[in-house]
């Protein structure tokens, strides 16, 4: 009754028909995690805690309780605090830390009856695009162990792609759900900013961080998102909408606009930004995306040429705003209030310096220094304030584009997964890998990655789909129509 490579719906059927128990699925997932340990996806596994949750799920099932996620195995990115398991954000700064409470997203999934297998590797404090910046070492891409899985939610993508669990939680600040989903050949969605609570999510950039699910299919992502979203009074950035909880699966199996069974996307306009398909996009990435766009056309969609003229400005704007917020958020980790304290120091100043130098990795130190610089006296107006103005213009560009189209499509990453260590010595090259995802995050829009094929060295390619604010349901329905017509999301590493 292995859970490997099975959808949430398939596992739901096994559980409801009593062909498997939550405990059996948990044992399978734990065994699979052990067998795939060389991928370095997990940073903390505690069988006793997992089996305790599985036993509780079995009791709920025995009582007749129903639920889409009840008894389903999962795992959480190490950026979410969890009771029992360590919560370290992939950093030496928080080595061994155990939270006295669960993040709100974790609490909601626990209430839905999911069974956690453990914590997943990630770039330190979610700062990275390759999962090579973790204190636990890099994850390996299950499609090619020489390649990076993407980041910062690399462990989350690997655990799904390798078939350990059917879904995981991730976070997306500048593309950290969509990019690893693309590089690992799975589906992942970043909902509208404010949809999922940030309470208990170890902060990187507070105005950008957003939680989301990663799974094999849009259907599975929708089921998980149903449990994750919702207003949380504990999070000041949580959005309280004047509507009841949305069912993100409601549009599945239906024509999106005025189509029929044969043309379910008739009347749907898909925008293609010129800036997403220009110089810099690798040919082996463009070819599968072009084929996917033709598939959408065959299903009735109309492709519309649009422009997002400030796309290139998203990189400098993001790498001013995000480090600025990071320098503020991470200032609490000083060896006094939180985090690692150096063993050797002579006074308070040296304790701060030694503790932070030892606890933070080089990438985190780099971003803290950049952030402190752009917020310093004399530079705030020149850098940070200007970046925020550009951010507003980027959001306006998207709204102008959505006057011409219903969705926006394009690449997630300009290349397939690169080799481990290939870009480590040049951080600017690493930052450029986020060119197609940053603008969506700066605007706070929902975006997702959908597998559409393979590029060089048989490494996966994902297509990015972007919707307007709070259009996750339609976005997932569009992806589901595409996945019903193709099987790229069902392909698995050998």
Strands 187-190 and 407-411: unpaired
Residue 125 domain flag: yes
210: pLDDT strictly greater than 60? yes
Query: Is residue 287 domain-resident?
Result: no
Distance CA 33, CA 281 (A): 35
pLDDT tens digits, one per residue of 446-482:
999 999 999 999 999 999 999 999 999 999 999 999 9
Kindly indicate the confidence band of residue 3, based on its pLDDT and cuts at 50, 70 and 90: very low
Place of tokens 């309780």: 65
- Relative orientation angle of helices 314-329 and 362-375, to the nearest 10 degrees: 100
Q: What is the pLDDT of residue 485?
A: 96
Mean pLDDT, the chain, as a whole number?
95
Alpha helices in 229-361 (DSSP H): 283-298, 314-329, 348-359
d(CA 279, CA 136): 36
Q: Is residue 412 part of a domain?
A: no
**Under the phi-then-psi rule, with left for phi > 0, alpha for psi from -120 to 50, and beta for the rest, what region is 332?**
alpha
Tell me whether residue 374 is in a domain: no
Which runs of consecutive H residues, i.e. helices, occur in 376-471?
Answer: 386-401, 427-432, 438-443
Instruction: State yes or no: pLDDT of 70 exceeds 80.
Output: yes
- Could you give the residue numbers annotated as active site? 77, 152, 176
Contacts of 343 (CB under 8 A, 6+ apart): none
Q: Which domain holds residue 147?
A: 8-254+447-490
How many domains, in total, are found in the chain? 1
Query: Could you check whether the bond before residue 378 is cis, i.e. omega within 30 degrees of 0?
Result: no
Residue 5's Cβ-side half-sphere holds a number of Cα atoms within 13 Å equal to 8
Closest among 123, 186, 187 to 154, alpha carbons compared: 123
Residue 188 lies in a domain: yes
What is the separation of C-alpha 112 from the centre of its chain, rounded to a whole number of angstroms?
20
pLDDT at 243: 66
pLDDT tens, residue by residue, 231-259: 999 999 999 987 656 799 999 988 888 76
pLDDT band at 1 (very low <50, low <70, confident <90, very high): very low
Summarize pLDDT for 194-207 with one digit per residue, the tens. 999 999 999 999 99
pTM for this structure? 0.96
Question: Would residue 327 count as lying in a domain?
Answer: no
Instruction: Identify the CATH number of the domain in which residue 15 sits.
Output: 3.90.1300.10
Average pLDDT over residues 442-446: 98
pLDDT, tens digit, 9 for 90 and up, residues 39-69: 999 999 999 999 999 999 999 999 999 999 9
Position 228 in a domain: yes
**pLDDT at res. 2:** 44
What confidence score (pLDDT) does residue 5 get?
52
In a domain, 96, yes or no: yes
Taking 50 as the threshold, does the pLDDT of residue 371 lie above it? yes
């Amino acid at each position: 009754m292995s859970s490997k490579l099975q959808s949430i719906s398939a596992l739901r059927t096994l559980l409801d028909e009593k062909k498997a128990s939550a405990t059996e699925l948990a044992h399978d997932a734990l065994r699979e995690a052990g067998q795939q340990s060389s991928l370095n996806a997990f940073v903390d596994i505690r069988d006793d805690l997992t089996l305790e949750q599985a036993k509780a799920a079995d009791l709920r099932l025995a009582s007749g309780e129903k639920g889409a996620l009840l008894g389903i195995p999962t795992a959480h990115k190490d950026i979410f605090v969890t009771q029992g398991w360590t919560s370290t954000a992939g950093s030496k700064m928080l080595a061994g830390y155990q939270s006295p409470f669960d993040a709100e997203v974790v609490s909601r999934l626990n209430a839905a009856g999911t069974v956690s297998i453990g914590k997943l590797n990630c770039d330190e404090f979610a700062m990275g695009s390759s999962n090579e910046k973790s204190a636990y070492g890099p994850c390996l891409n299950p499609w090619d162990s020489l390649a990076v899985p993407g980041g910062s939610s690399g462990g989350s993508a690997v655990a799904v792609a390798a078939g350990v669990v059917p879904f995981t939680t991730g976070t997306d600040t500048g593309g950290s759900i969509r990019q690893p989903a693309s590089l690992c050949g799975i589906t992942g969605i970043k909902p509208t900013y404010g949809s999922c609570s940030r309470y208990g999510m170890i902060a990187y950039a507070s105005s950008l961080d957003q939680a989301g699910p990663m799974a094999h299919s849009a259907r599975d992502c929708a089921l998980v998102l149903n449990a994750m979203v919702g207003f949380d009074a504990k999070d000041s950035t949580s959005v309280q909408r004047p509507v009841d909880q949305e069912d993100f699966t409601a549009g599945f199996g239906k024509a999106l606009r005025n189509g029929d069974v044969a043309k379910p996307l008739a009347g749907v306009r898909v925008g293609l930004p010129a800036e997403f398909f220009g110089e810099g996009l690798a040919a082996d990435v463009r070819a599968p995306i072009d084929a996917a766009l033709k598939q959408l056309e065959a299903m009735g969609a109309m492709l519309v040429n649009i422009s997002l003229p400030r796309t290139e400005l998203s990189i400098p704007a993001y790498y001013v705003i995000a480090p600025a917020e990071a320098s503020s958020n991470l200032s609490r980790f000083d060896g006094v209030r939180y985090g690692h304290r150096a063993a050797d120091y002579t006074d308070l100043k040296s304790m701060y310096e030694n503790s932070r130098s030892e606890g933070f990795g080089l990438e985190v130190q780099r971003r803290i220094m950049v952030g402190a610089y752009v917020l310093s006296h004399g530079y705030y107006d020149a850098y940070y304030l200007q970046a925020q103005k550009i951010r507003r213009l980027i959001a306006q560009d998207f709204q102008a584009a959505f006057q011409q189209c219903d969705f926006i499509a394009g690449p997630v990453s300009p290349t397939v997964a690169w080799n481990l260590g290939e870009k480590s010595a040049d951080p600017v090259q690493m930052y450029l890998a986020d060119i197609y995802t940053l603008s969506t995050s700066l605007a706070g829009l929902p975006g997702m990655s959908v597998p559409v094929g393979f590029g060089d060295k048989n490494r996966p390619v994902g297509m990015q789909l972007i919707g307007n604010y709070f259009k996750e349901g339609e976005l997932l329905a569009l992806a589901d129509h595409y996945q019903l017509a193709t099987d790229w999301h069902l392909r698995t590493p050998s």
